Amino acid sequence: MNPIFNKSLVALAALGVVSFAHAAEVKIGVAAALSGGAGQYGNAIRNGFQLAAEEVNAKGGVNGNTIKLVIEDEQGKKEEAINVFKKLIFQDKVLMVFGPTLSNSAQAADPIAQGAKTPVFGTSNTADGITSIGDYVFRNSVTEADVLPETIKVAARHANIKKVAVLYGNDDVFTKSGYDNFKKALEDLKIPVTTTETFAKGDVDFKAQLTKIKASNPDAIVLSALIAEGGPIMVAARQLGINVPFIGGNGMNSVRIFDLAKEKSDGLWVGSPWSIENQTAENTRFIAAYKAKYNAAPDQFAAQAYDAFYIVTQALGKVSLTGKLEADRKALHDALPAVKWSGATGSFSFRQAAGKGGKPAGYDAVQTPIVMSTKAGKYVI
Ligand code: 1QQ
């Protein structure tokens, strides 16, 4: 640099007129289920983050800082999620953590982030109660409580559903919460339940439950399941000659259903703010970029991770990082709630959740779900 120019810059900097941006690397943790049954979600989530990080870094990062993702496999297990959170927060000293994939793991691991005053941001946690863990907990995944009443309402209207059977996993935070919210929505809509059946994670034989369901003659099956069990449940139902629609929660909203259930995947109703059929400029750009990078179509899990990364960059853009981890984590925490973003999943803002026992709560997503159903390997709006 020209020494005179350099000197005058130094002088201006001393006067506070200009500041030197020293390019640094900001570490952000990603705890995702990359293996095991929930890997069907976690890999899409990782892809969404990596695509967004690559785009942001290619444009010079945030305030000159490059973002480095530190990605760990929490295997969809709560014990592993706890281990991974400890590693990311205390050892890697990341600024914040994205994840984990399942609400079941979030309920166990998020208190570690809250205790360490490290922002934690779920992109796929939809169960009740996750954000009441504390004010450092954020999510852009719309809750079952917000989505399911709409899914049932639209499905019932289109498919002429008057009575339903309910089937849910009773050993997982998300599937149980989905059940609670389905039950409430069905009561509110005055839709009678013909029978309620349960299963557990890892089950492969659903004949007993489905036989009872068939005998109860429902117009639809309301299913709160993760895809690892939900896919085989749909296949088994069709094999037993149960051809009524399924109404699913977030767990069933994965393109994996088309591989798992093939031609038996028709007639599944789900709700989400994101659809591959949604042709906004932001979504069209996202889908094209995702296909170019991964040679496969994205799903809502990838879209929500992608948007979450941009939401965080908006907050980071407003923060002057000091290099002091505690202060920087707090500054990011303070900047996040005000972010508004229009991304692949549509327009987004946060609302503070209800706290427990007078403690301040974290932040949930404000977004409008779209209800769609599956037909011939596609979602139809
Ligand atoms: C939760 C979910 C799952 C479907 C995440 C992939 O919504 O556990 O909350």
* pLDDT tens per residue, range 252-264: 998 889 989 998 9
Ligand 1 proximal residues by C-beta, below 6 Å: 41, 101-103, 124-127, 174, 226, 250-251
What is the 3 state secondary structure string of 225-292? CCHHHHHHHHHHHHHCCCCCCEEECHHHCCCHHHHHHHHHHCCEEEEECCCCCCCCHHHHHHHHHHHH
Q: CATH class for domain 145-272?
A: alpha beta
Equal CATH topology for 23-142+279-368 and 145-272: yes
pLDDT-based confidence at residue 11 (cuts at 50, 70, 90) = very low
pLDDT-based confidence at residue 357 (cuts at 50, 70, 90) = confident
ipTM of the complex: 0.98
The torsion region of residue 239 among left (phi > 0), alpha (psi -120 to 50) and beta comes to alpha
* Most informative mutation of 226, 229, 274, 300 for ligand 1 (most atoms within 8 A of CB): 226
What confidence tens digit (pLDDT) does each residue in 273-324 have? 999 999 999 999 999 999 999 999 999 999 999 999 999 999 999 999 999 9
The superfamily CATH assigns to domain 23-142+279-368 is Response regulator (3.40.50.2300)
| Ligand 1 centroid distance, CA of 2 (Å) | 56
pLDDT-based confidence at residue 355 (cuts at 50, 70, 90) = confident
Helix (H) or strand (E) holding 6: helix 3-14
| Ligand 1 centroid distance, CA of 59 (Å) | 32
Helix (H) or strand (E) holding 109: helix 103-115
Nearest CA residue ID for atom 9, ligand 1? 125
| Ligand 1 centroid distance, CA of 105 (Å) | 10
Q: Which atom of ligand 1 is nearest to the CA of 130?
A: 9
CB count in 10 Å sphere of residue 320:
9
What confidence tens digit (pLDDT) does each residue in 71-86 have? 999 999 999 999 999 9
What rounded mean pLDDT belongs to the chain? 93
| Ligand 1 centroid distance, CA of 24 (Å) | 34
| Ligand 1 centroid distance, CA of 15 (Å) | 52
Domain ranges of the chain: 23-142+279-368, 145-272
Q: Which atom of ligand 1 is nearest to the CA of 104?
A: 8
Strand boundaries in the chain, DSSP class E: 25-32, 66-73, 96-98, 120-122, 137-139, 164-169, 193-199, 220-224, 246-248, 268-272, 340-343, 346-352, 363-366, 370-375, 378-380
What confidence tens digit (pLDDT) does each residue in 101-111 have? 999 999 999 99
pLDDT of 187 above 60: yes
pLDDT-based confidence at residue 359 (cuts at 50, 70, 90) = confident
pLDDT of residue 17: 45
| Ligand 1 centroid distance, CA of 342 (Å) | 23
pLDDT of residue 358: 81
Nearest CA to 184 out of 158, 231, 217, 146 is that of 146
Nearest CA residue ID for atom 4, ligand 1? 251
More confident residue, 354 or 283: 283
* Most informative mutation of 107, 250, 252, 364 for ligand 1 (most atoms within 8 A of CB): 250
Q: Which atom of ligand 1 is nearest to the CA of 177?
A: 9
| Ligand 1 centroid distance, CA of 167 (Å) | 17
pLDDT-based confidence at residue 364 (cuts at 50, 70, 90) = very high
pLDDT-based confidence at residue 89 (cuts at 50, 70, 90) = very high
| Ligand 1 centroid distance, CA of 23 (Å) | 36
Contact (Cβ atoms closer than 8 angstroms) between residue 29 and residue 88? yes
pTM tops 0.90 = yes
* Most informative mutation of 41, 123, 179, 181 for ligand 1 (most atoms within 8 A of CB): 41
Report d(CA 107, CA 172) in Å as an integer: 11
Residue range 137-146: average pLDDT?
A: 97
